[in-house]
């Protein structure tokens, strides 16, 4: 690859579904804090342009979860951001992270520019993506020259995960796809929520679902079945004409 192409690559880390409890406590006997720290320490060495925490930062909307994360993020040297998940509390997130300028009608959605390219972040914490956000995304994406990426906690489609698809899928998949399908310059959607490493498509959009640092949930059973309590996270490389995602498994 020539130098110019290499310099145009944007490197993004994704850590998802931390499910931090009331501070440092174990959550369902899992050391969720230790798992998150392991992921953060590893991803710190990747020289990222951006780190995204893709929702369910907290397990049960506890203020102490965000205080713990804020404390840990003081050690992180690069640019980072987050989207809220269904286990999160936007009031406490705002109290700890000061995000009020991007909260509209109780929803946290925004865009970021990295090396002249655009990334969009939507709020699905109410198990749906509101029409207001979808209309905003549509008009913003139209103004972007070239490709943009989208991050949102819930996959905007079913994903071949029997348990999550049947119990916890996004509540307005049809409406969301109605607005996303015609947005030609968004071809990749990055999600969490399913606690599994998955890739799927709707229309021409590729949906890349990150595993969790809390736990992996078995995808082939209709009931909840714990597959692993080892953390996993992702590193995405986004070039002008390619996109590559690596999933990294911790201990
Ligand atoms: Fe989750
Ligand atoms: Fe979730």
Whole-number Å distance, alpha carbon 217 to ligand 1 midpoint, is 10
Asked if residues 126 and 159 have their Cβ atoms less than 8 Å apart, the reply is no
pTM (2 d.p.): 0.97
Share of the chain above pLDDT 70, in %: 97
Whole-number Å distance, alpha carbon 82 to ligand 2 midpoint, is 13
3-state SS string for the chain: CCHHHHHCCEEEEEECCCCECCCCCCECCECHHHHHHHHHHHHHCCCCCEEEEECCCECCCCHHHHHHHHHHHCCCCCCEEEECCCCCCHHHHHHHHCCHHHEECCEECEEEEECCEEEEECCCCCCCCCHHHHHHHHHHHHCCCCCEEEECCCCCCCCCCHHHHHHHCCCCHHHHHHHHCCCCCEEEEEECCCCCCEEEEECCEEEEECCCCCCEECCCCCCCCEEECCCEEEEEEECCCCEEEEEEECC
Q: Which domains does the chain have, with CATH numbers?
A: 3-249 (3.60.21.10)
Q: Which two tokens stand for residue 171?
A: 């509540």
Q: What is the pLDDT of residue 8?
A: 86
**For the CA of 27, the nearest ligand:** 1
Share of the chain above pLDDT 90, in %: 96
Q: What is the pLDDT of residue 87?
A: 98
Q: What is the pLDDT of residue 4?
A: 64
Whole-number Å distance, alpha carbon 76 to ligand 1 midpoint, is 22
Whole-number Å distance, alpha carbon 7 to ligand 1 midpoint, is 34
Whole-number Å distance, alpha carbon 241 to ligand 2 midpoint, is 31
Query: Residue 202: which of 168, 222, 173 has the closest Cα?
Result: 173
Q: What is the pLDDT of residue 22?
A: 96
**For the CA of 196, the nearest ligand:** 1
Query: Residue 203: which of 249, 168, 156, 241 has the closest Cα?
Result: 156
Hey, how many other C-beta atoms are within 10 angstroms of the C-beta on 116?
9
**For the CA of 58, the nearest ligand:** 1
For residues 231 and 251, what is the distance between their CA atoms, to the nearest angstrom? 7
The residues of the chain scoring below 70 in pLDDT are 1-6
For residues 72 and 61, what is the distance between their CA atoms, to the nearest angstrom? 18
Whole-number Å distance, alpha carbon 142 to ligand 1 midpoint, is 31
């Amino acid at each position: 690859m020539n130098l110019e192409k290499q310099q145009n690559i944007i490197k993004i880390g994704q850590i998802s579904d931390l499910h931090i409890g009331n501070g440092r406590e174990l959550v369902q006997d899992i050391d969720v804090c230790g798992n998150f720290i392991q992921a953060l320490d590893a991803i710190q060495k990747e020289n990222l342009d951006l780190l995204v925490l893709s929702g369910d930062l907290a397990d049960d909307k506890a203020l102490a979860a965000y205080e713990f994360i804020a404390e840990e993020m003081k050690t992180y040297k690069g640019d980072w951001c987050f989207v809220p998940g269904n286990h999160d509390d936007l009031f406490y997130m705002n109290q700890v992270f000061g995000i009020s300028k991007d909260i509209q009608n109780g929803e946290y959605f925004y865009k970021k520019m990295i090396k002249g390219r655009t990334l969009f972040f939507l709020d699905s914490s109410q198990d749906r993506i509101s029409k207001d956000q979808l209309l905003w995304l549509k008009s913003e994406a139209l103004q972007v020259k070239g490709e943009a990426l989208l991050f949102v906690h819930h996959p905007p489609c079913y994903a071949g995960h029997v348990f999550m698809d049947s119990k916890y899928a996004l509540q307005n998949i049809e409406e969301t796809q109605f607005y996303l399908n015609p947005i030609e310059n968004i071809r990749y959607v990055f999600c969490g929520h399913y606690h599994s490493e998955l890739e799927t498509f709707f229309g021409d959009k590729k949906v890349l679902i990150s595993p969790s640092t809390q736990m992996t949930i078995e995808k082939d059973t209709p009931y909840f079945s714990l597959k692993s309590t080892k953390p996993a996270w992702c590193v995405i490389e986004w070039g002008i004409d390619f996109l590559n995602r690596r999933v990294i498994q911790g201990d």
